[in-house]
Structure 1
Amino acid sequence: MSSPAPVRPSPEHDPGDLLAAYLPGSFLHRSARGTLLADGVHCTVPSGPDGPGGPGDAAAVALAEAAAAGHPDPMVVGAIGFAPDAPRSLHVPALVRRASPDTAGARPVRVPEPPGQDWAVRHVPAPEVYADGVRTALGMIGEGRLEKVVLARALELTSPTPVPVRDLLTRLALADPAAYAFAADVTAPGDPAPRTLLGASPELLVSREGDTVVANPLAGSIPRSADPAENRARIAALRASAKDQAEHALVADRVVEVLRGLCAEVDAPVEPEVIGTATMWHLSSRITGRIADRSVSALHLAHALHPTPAVCGVPVPAARAAIGAIEPADRGYYSGMTGWVDADGDGEWVVAIRSAEVCDRTVRVFAGAGIVAGSDPDAEVAETRAKFRTLLRAIGVEAVA
């Protein structure tokens, strides 16, 4: 039997109030477990070099030191980039406020209007160049060097005035209440203003609560339609697609393999289900486990799982090399992870997709698509275009190519 989950501080705040209280520099994480808003810096988590447990070991040391110093509620929050040498921004906040996931009776939140100004848009790379990259990847797959690789492209949008970060986060959070809404400060040396990673991710990398571990990989996607009949047809096509089912199996099998090395029990569905966001339909598998060693925290689990084939590929080393060779821009925090872990090892980490990095007047948005045998370059361009819509709608920009 699983041991009971440790007692948490009782939520004391209204979820809408916490969203309204967010300011750039704060950390916000909203999920079915509730809303968390963290402010101030008690101490930072060193960036490396990592030990065998990766950033989970450094976080555990920081949490123990914060508790010894009298911190009443130590927790590590922040974000980690995609690449092995990518930047990460992790710290123990000075103050953490929580709100219950139960929104019954919660005060309504005003939906701010989009900025409404003219935006300059730069494609990185152009859609036709991205399609050529897909063809290159398909050649590697045909040669047997890869089974899958996820290729991303970016849009860099520049506004005449500074971007209202809190308004953008609020619009993202309210547009899709089921998504994992997040914001983390990722300011780097040389930035002209604070830099914020924010988004509304549909994908849980991993959570731990007591002995219970949950991962929910997504792979295999199709754009959502405004027409209900067309949506039913698209869902049926996604379920019947051998290409999408094979792509999803690569991801789910890898997650199960990693968790079996860390859990006493692992349970995975035989077939994926279809879940929807405001812009996409995805094949989804909710995989559960029971932790074998309580010293293995949520961040240890996230480090072990990252990157899943949902954002990288199979095999991982070859896929990472292909991404580095084909993608013209460094991903930064896109397709990395963001979340939190507490002193008991509980926590929640989500995949940083449907996300953007905002700095002063610039918003940098990424979207990716999984390339496997049978992928069509034009269809992959269309998939990335559909995935951009989550952020573009929040910004108030019409769809771009």
Structure 2
Amino acid sequence: MIEQTENRLSVAEAQNICLRNNIPFYTYRLPGSREVIFGAQLSNDTRIFKGFEKHRGEKGFVITPFNHSSWSFPFFIKADLSFTDYLTDGEAIRNLQNTVFNTPERIFTKQDCEHFEYLDELRTMIDTLKREGMKKAVLSRTITIPCDSLRLSPAIFEQMKQYHHAFLFFAAIPGKCAWMGASPETFLKYDRNGFFTMALAGTQPVATAKNPPEWGDKDIEEQQIVTDYIQDTLRHFFTRHLEIEGPITLQAGNVFHLCTFFRSDEQLPADQIDELVGQLHPTPAVCGLPKKRAMQIITEIEKRDRGYYAGFLGPLQASGAFDLFVNLRTMEVFDDALRLYVGGGITPLSDPETEWQETCQKADTLLNLIRQMNYGKITF
């Protein structure tokens, strides 16, 4: 049970108020940190994110879609109110409690892809990659759990705190989108020390992997594709210094990944940051290579819009610093359901059943949290 006194509001209680009153809000915890940051926009205007140059000097949260040409738009949630762990300002608490907006409900409609259907999609993608001589594309699916999601979501976010090395997030724009997850993958970090990003690809379940894991040709090739793409992109922007470390094995929940880190202490003007982001997103880790054709294949084979899955999201500071992460190990929050999104990198060497099992292992990062809450029987 969430405890609240008159002049002390927890993050979970603030989330409940915002979900009940249709207030745009965000919550996050950076990897390795213990601090949970909450922010709310106390106006009902939908703010489109127009790039880092346009939002210079603003504090808030960015959430962008996988494909900018889809029906989904990049949004910015402005931090009219923000606090860390607990809000103790009585006037601010009352202001939040008394803010109420009317927005349409978000009810899920589309059904999930069954096992045999996903295997058919995988075979089609593998055949396409072989026929066209492509290196990689990413296929995803969903797992939908009908439930009282608005009540359960704050409690699930609390349970996610056990994933200490992930980026935890819960961001919602009522009537537009609501997403929550524990992402293992940095998209791009920027502060006064410079830039940081990573190439993350290849997957093995922790329960069955050797210690250290032994990586097969498919995983090594997949990770190298992502590494080469990011390295080539960064070298167009960072001409003086680019540090590369890896690949190393990184644990994310119940799976291992191969990971390569990239760092540069160079600074870039805001317009070049926007250009860098535009060239990096989406990386082959969530899309494929060549990028344009991979996105076409994904649209043709998946037959459903990813929305904000595999997009990027994270906090933006007034100083211009930001911490952006890929929207992975994630679920979409509807008014009447939670929908998990999982996927995997497909190469000509992929085996369909192995790829299906990989999505099951990745889904367990969030499904295990729901199981711990004893919420009914969950099957997928």
| Alpha-carbon distance in structure 2 between the residues aligned to 1:362 and 1:171 | 18
Instruction: Report matched runs for 1:65-76 at 5 Å.
Output: 74-76=58-60
Match for residue 187 of structure 1 among 171, 174, 177: 174
CA deviation string 1:111-133 (max 9, x = no partner): xxxxxxxxx99962111111111
Structure 2 CA distance for aligned equivalents of residues 254 and 336 of structure 1? 17
Matches within 5 A, 1:210-289: 210-225=192-207, 230-232=208-210, 235-238=212-215, 241-263=216-238, 264-269=240-245, 271-289=246-264
Contact 2:171 2:180 in 1 (8 A): yes
2:169 maps to a residue whose letter is F
Structure 2 Cα separation of the partners of residues 387 and 138 of structure 1: 21
Task: Provide the rounded CA distance (Å) in 2 between the counterparts of 1:45 and 1:302.
Answer: 22
Partner of residue 155, structure 2: 167
Give the conservation status (yes or no) of the 8 Å contact 1:44–1:92. no
* Aligned residue in 2 for 1:78: 62
% same residue: 24
Could you say which residue in structure 2 is the equivalent of 1:29? 28
Displacement of 1:150 in angstroms is: 0.4
Please give the alpha-carbon distance, in whole angstroms, between the structure 1 residues aligned to 2:159 and 2:110.
Answer: 23
Shift of 1:294: 3.6
Distance 2:209 2:10 in 1: 35
Given the superposition, is the C-alpha separation of residues 313 and 278 from structure 1 closer, same or farther in structure 2, using an over 3 Å criterion?
Answer: same
CA contact (8 A) 2:140 2:341 kept: yes
Q: Select between 296-305 and 386-395 the one with higher mean Cα deviation.
A: 296-305
Counterpart residue number, 2:96? none
Report the counterpart of residue 322 of structure 1 in structure 2. 297
Structure 2: which 5+ runs fail to align? Answer: 1-8, 86-107
Q: How does 1:64-143 map to 2 (within 5 A)?
A: 64=57, 74-85=58-69, 86-98=72-84, 124-143=112-131
Letter in 1 for 2:351: D
1:310 maps to which of 285, 294, 306: 285
Matched position secondary structure for 1:60:
coil
Map of 1:11 onto structure 2 = none
Amino acid at match of 2:210: R
2:313 pairs with 1:338 = yes
Q: Is the 8 A contact 1:176 1:200 kept in 2?
A: yes
Aligned residues of 1:334 and 1:355 also touching (Cα < 8 A): yes
SS in 2 for 1:214: strand
List per-residue Cα deviations over 1:129-149 (Å, max 9, x = no partner): 111111111111112342100
1:343, 1:299 → 2: CA distance?
Answer: 16
Paired with 1:89 and 1:128, the residues of 2 have a C-alpha distance of 36
AA in 2 matched with 1:84: H
Paired residue for 1:60, among 34, 53, 73?
53
SS in 2 for 1:247: helix
Counterpart of 1:155 in structure 2 is 143
- SS of the residue aligned with 1:29? strand
CA distance in 1, matches of 2:182, 2:142: 17
The answer as to whether partners of 1:171 and 1:394 remain within 8 angstroms in 2 is yes
How far apart, CA to CA, are the structure 2 residues paired with 1:123 and 1:279?
A: 26
Shift of 1:217: 2.3
Aligned length: 335
Q: 2-side partners of 1:60 and 1:255: how far apart?
A: 22
- Return closer, same or farther for 1:275/1:324 CA change in 2, 3 Å cut-off: same
Letter in 1 for 2:213: A
Amino acid at match of 2:190: R
What is the TM-score of this pair, normalised by structure 1? 0.76
User: Could you say what secondary structure the match of 2:164 adopts?
Assistant: coil
| Contact 2:166–2:183 (Cα < 8 Å) also in 1 | yes
> Contact 2:119/2:356 (CA < 8 Å) preserved in 1?
yes
Ranges in structure 1 where 5+ consecutive residues have no aligned partner: 1-15, 49-54, 65-73, 100-119, 190-194
SS at match of 1:125: coil
Separation in 2 of the partners of 1:125 and 1:62?
38
| 2:361 equivalent to 1:373 | no
- SS of the aligned residue for 1:331 comes to coil
Q: Does 1:347 align with 2:322?
A: yes
Q: CA deviation at 1:81?
A: 1.0
Is residue 39 of structure 2 the alignment partner of residue 38 of structure 1? yes
Structure 2 CA distance for partners of 1:215 and 1:42, relative to 1, 3 Å:
farther
Q: Which amino acid counterpart does residue 243 of structure 2 have in structure 1?
A: D
